Structure 1
Amino acid sequence: MSKKKILIVEDEESLLKLESILLTSKGYEVTGVSNGQAALDSLAQEQPDLVLLDIMLPEIDGFEVCQRIKKNPATKHIPVIMLTAKKSREDMTRGERVGADWYITKPFKSAMVIETIQRFLAR
């Protein structure tokens, strides 16, 4: 069985490293990028099995990235989990509107993130 691929989109370098190490240690193949445009470029080149997406990003924010993923027939099937410090009801509702499959707020528990990822990748 080939490794499941996860694209992490996180502009905070320390968090990107932490998430990458965590997921790699669980057997996932991880690609990490630090902005929305790099995420869209990465998706165009190689489709991951899941996207872990921050909202507050330079250039193109996570809401826009998610919306573009879900509007593209080639990528709309990819689960998008928003992982963000934005906790307001409006932000969560906007996440749903742009097509996010799940919404996790920071600070997060690693076990919860892994469990959520496993649930989506088991489908």
Structure 2
Amino acid sequence: MEKKRILIVEDEESLLKLESILLSSRGYAVAGVTDGKSALDYIAATPPDLIILDIMLPGMDGFEVCQMIKADPSTRHIPVVMLTAKKSTQDRDKGLEAGASAYVTKPFKSARIIEIIQGLLAA
């Protein structure tokens, strides 16, 4: 069976590594980028099965990236999990309005994020 491909968009290198290790160890094929433009370029070239997206990114923020993914008919089906330090209800609502399938705040529990990813990829 082919591995599910996950793109992690995270500008903090240590978190990108940690999330990559967590998901790779669960059998996912993981790629990582550190900004929104790179994420959109990657998605256009190699659409992943799921995207983990930070909000606070250099250049365009995660809300903009998510809106662009969801506005494109060729990528709108890809589930987006926003993983962020932004904890306010307004930010959460903004993320879901942008099209995120799930909104998770940092620090996160590994088991919780795996559960969300498995649920979205099984849908």
- TM-score bracket, normalised by the shorter chain, equals over 0.9
- Aligned match of 1:8: 8
Q: CA–CA distance in 2 between the matches of 1:91 and 1:82?
A: 10
**TM-score normalised to the size of structure 2?**
0.99
**Is 2:39 the counterpart of 1:39?**
yes
Q: CA–CA distance in 2 between the matches of 1:46 and 1:80?
A: 15
Shift of 1:33: 0.3
Aligned length: 123
Amino acid at match of 2:100: A
- Aligned match of 2:79: 79
Q: Which runs of 5+ in 2 are unaligned?
A: none
**Is 2:69 the counterpart of 1:106?**
no
Q: CA–CA distance in 1 between the matches of 2:27 and 2:96?
A: 29
- Aligned match of 1:27: 27
**Is 2:82 the counterpart of 1:117?**
no
Q: Which runs of 5+ in 1 are unaligned?
A: none
Q: Percent identity?
A: 66
**TM-score normalised to the size of structure 1?**
0.99
Stretches (4+) displaced over 6 A:
none
- Aligned match of 2:55: 55
Amino acid at match of 1:44: A
SS of structure 2 residue aligned to 1:30: strand
Aligned-residue RMSD, C-alpha: 0.4
SS of structure 1 residue aligned to 2:113: helix
Shift of 1:96: 1.2
Shift of 1:30: 0.3
Q: CA–CA distance in 1 between the matches of 2:37 and 2:60?
A: 6
